[in-house]
Structure 1
Amino acid sequence: MGPKSDPETAALRKELEELYKNLQELQQKCADTNLTSACETVEDLPKVKLITRKMMKGHLNKVNSVHYSGDSRHCVTGSLDGKLIIWDTYTGNKVQIIPLRSAWVMSVAFAPSGNFVACGGMDNMCTVYDLNNRDASGVAKMARELAGYDGFLSSCRFLDDKTIITGSGDMKICQWDLETGRKISDFIAHNGDVVSISLAPDGNTFVTGSVDKTCRFWDIRDSKPKQTFFGHTADVNSVCFHPSGHAFATGSEDKSARMFDLRADQQIAQYKPPANSGFTSCALSLSGRILFCGSDDNNIHMWDTLKTNHNGVLSGHDNRVTSISVATNGIALASCSWDQNVRVWG
């Protein structure tokens, strides 16, 4: 008998939904204001005008993920053509091309130091490459293969050169010691696939988004979530920490982006696009004043986070925008798409 027709499972599911509803009602009672009301006297943000500074061609299939290095100059992209490409975003040139054992890459990460990149996807594995250690043909050598997942690797982020955090389709978050290749921690984090991870500025905390429609706030020293955030009505595809460390933004399949505040323990703003499309990815400007969201409608939408006004659209991609990344210095935004291209905006 399947779980949907199991009366006990159905009853428990109903009870859980009631608990969620009660929690949301209690939260709303504590909400004496929202971000828009609190920022009524703040001046509107002028229209943000960004153009494509570099159009980087080289991938031969859909590009699923992009992430900047800590130097704000280099970025890594992963594509279904089975390649990672390290780009110099100043010149638009390829610095390195790394052939992968599996073409089904879903996530990439650049270590802040610029020494390592990681990737993973439908191979149920996280693979780390050492960019400073190349083989005879000049290709970066594999430093680690982190196996032991019961689902696809959806997200990965380096804490430093020795530690990486991963999220996967088996609902788990894992923390790995890259020097030994061993798991430091391994625990069920959500009631569905973990889809996205964003590190807080403090280096000790992070937030995750999941297909279970929730986001959770974690401390790397603890295996239990510190906070759980409700509100989205479909998969949370992307999370991004606010530079202040007090809030985070989300992009969801439910055609909305939102801002959640850790101190208020709930949603404080919602951002809707003019088009009826879901969001694949989100990123915040260095100040946190501008929210960028990559969309199914081939565009990147922008909002003033304080006033929740839609601030414009970055157009140019010819297919779904799959991933966006803001440079550490805040000067540029990189985006990749199923149109096989990578763009740098500034």
Structure 2
Amino acid sequence: MCDQTFLAATFGPCDSCGNASPLMNIYIKSEAINYCSFCVEMMACEALQKGETLQTLKAESENLKKKLEEERNKLTDVELHQLAEKIEVVGALSIKTRRLLKGHGNKVLCMDWCKDKRRLVSSSQDGKVIVWDGFTLNKEHGVTLPCTWVMACAYAPSGCAVACGGLDNKCSVIPLSLDKTENLAAKKKPVAMHTNYVSGCTFTNSDMQVRASLMPREAGEPIFDWANLDPLSSEGLLFVSSGDGSCALWDVESGQLLQSFHGHTADVLYYPSGDAFASASDDATCRFYDLRADREVAVYQKDSIIFGASTVDFSLSGRLLFAGYNDYTINVWDVLKGTRVSVLFGHENRVSRVRVSPDGTALCSASWDNTLRIWA
């Protein structure tokens, strides 16, 4: 999401030897322990059987993965594009830039629509969060945060607040007011403090709960934390996280890993039906995973596309997939047939975010060229 690399390490006493050193967070039976690298190696060696080495166990693990993949492929009877052969081809799309939002002084890193289908919020490397009127292009609110690189923002379902976060390691909620002269920065309420920077945030179905994603994360560890404004239950919600070359499906209520999809490190987004999700990755592809089939069912790519994809979103019907790329374009894919329907040009730098409006009539894109564009 940014053009700089940040490394975060936990330093403290090892749970095994007690020495102060960089720690590795390991989950054993859902309980986290913090071991230094030496104790991790010792623990691994103590569990070895006679004649076993770490190398032989790694080889055995790879063989088991291959066998699982072979068994999974045996259940694959037909590809998605083959099922869609008789479906009518999507006609030519006439999507153009209808609004150009200017006001940020640096890279726009994130944006989100309000449920009223008119307003939207954006965050930028300039340290500002701006609330826009997408019809008039007016800036309704502008909040300057104490740090630059505001990497995440989200609109509350009620439209009465926005959440944001970034390199300050905080997830904060800002109540919005009809009084244009009111100092919103003074009303900002940090609802969670993290040890790593916040790379994404979103509200659940209520204003009372915010979900924040943290980067970087340890392998096998959920990247989402729940910041509660009010003690509400999560009601067994599911979410997908990405990183370390895989996408993982988690149960929020139990914290358990339900499914894992390897071979991609990506930005992910749920399909409208909730039975699948798509991902975008630096390998210049977008991929479509079906939770019921427990596998990848489609890959969206072309030989002419050599730059990575950074963000994806579905049309309201789920037939189209919008993907923002690092070559400044937005590619529109036919989800069922796997073909590219259109290419949207206009941005002058990397596209960092694309989101379809709640009513499906417009698409907003944020870019490192300091602007946002509304397409329709």
The structure-2 alpha-carbon separation of the partners of 1:321 and 1:13, relative to structure 1 and needing over 3 Å to count, comes to farther
Alpha-carbon distance between aligned partners in 2 of 1:320 and 1:290, rounded to the nearest angstrom: 21
TM-score normalised according to structure 1 size: 0.86
Alpha-carbon distance between aligned partners in 2 of 1:124 and 1:143, rounded to the nearest angstrom: 15
The structure-2 alpha-carbon separation of the partners of 1:148 and 1:22, relative to structure 1 and needing over 3 Å to count, comes to farther
Is 1:241 the counterpart of 2:270? The answer is yes
- What residue in structure 2 maps to residue 208 of structure 1? 241
Alpha-carbon distance between aligned partners in 1 of 2:355 and 2:284, rounded to the nearest angstrom: 20
Instruction: Return the offset for 1:170.
Output: 4.7
Is 1:271 the counterpart of 2:316? The answer is no
The structure-2 alpha-carbon separation of the partners of 1:111 and 1:319, relative to structure 1 and needing over 3 Å to count, comes to same
Alpha-carbon distance between aligned partners in 2 of 1:272 and 1:93, rounded to the nearest angstrom: 38
- What residue in structure 1 maps to residue 329 of structure 2? 299
Is 1:23 the counterpart of 2:68? The answer is yes
Percent identity (aligned): 37
2:349 is aligned, of 305, 319, 342, to 319
- SS at 1:260's partner residue? strand
Counting only pairs closer than 5 Å after superposition, residues 121-140 of structure 1 correspond to structure 2 as: 121-132=166-177, 137-139=182-184
Counting only pairs closer than 5 Å after superposition, residues 1-346 of structure 1 correspond to structure 2 as: 11=55, 16-132=61-177, 137-139=182-184, 141-159=186-204, 160-171=206-217, 172-179=223-230, 204-210=237-243, 212-232=244-264, 235-236=265-266, 238-273=267-302, 274-346=304-376
RMSD of the alignment, in Å? 2.5
Instruction: Return the offset for 1:144.
Output: 2.4
CA contact (8 A) 1:119 1:126 kept: yes
Instruction: Return the offset for 1:218.
Output: 2.7
Question: Which amino acid is 1:338 matched to?
Answer: W
- SS at 2:169's partner residue? coil
CA contact (8 A) 2:171 2:193 kept: no
Instruction: Return the offset for 1:147.
Output: 3.8
Higher relative contact order at CA 8 Å, sep ≥6: structure 1 or structure 2?
A: 1
Between 1:126-135 and 1:217-226, the stretch displaced more is 126-135
Which structure has the bigger radius of gyration? Answer: 2
Alpha-carbon distance between aligned partners in 2 of 1:16 and 1:284, rounded to the nearest angstrom: 36
The structure-2 alpha-carbon separation of the partners of 1:170 and 1:322, relative to structure 1 and needing over 3 Å to count, comes to closer
List structure 1 runs of 4+ shifted beyond 6 angstroms: 6-10
- SS at 2:176's partner residue? strand
- What residue in structure 2 maps to residue 195 of structure 1? none
Structure 2: gaps spanning 5 or more residues: 1-35, 46-53, 218-222
Instruction: Return the offset for 1:330.
Output: 0.5
Alpha-carbon distance between aligned partners in 1 of 2:159 and 2:282, rounded to the nearest angstrom: 32
Instruction: Return the offset for 1:36.
Output: 0.5
Instruction: Return the offset for 1:288.
Output: 0.4
Structure 1: gaps spanning 5 or more residues: 186-201
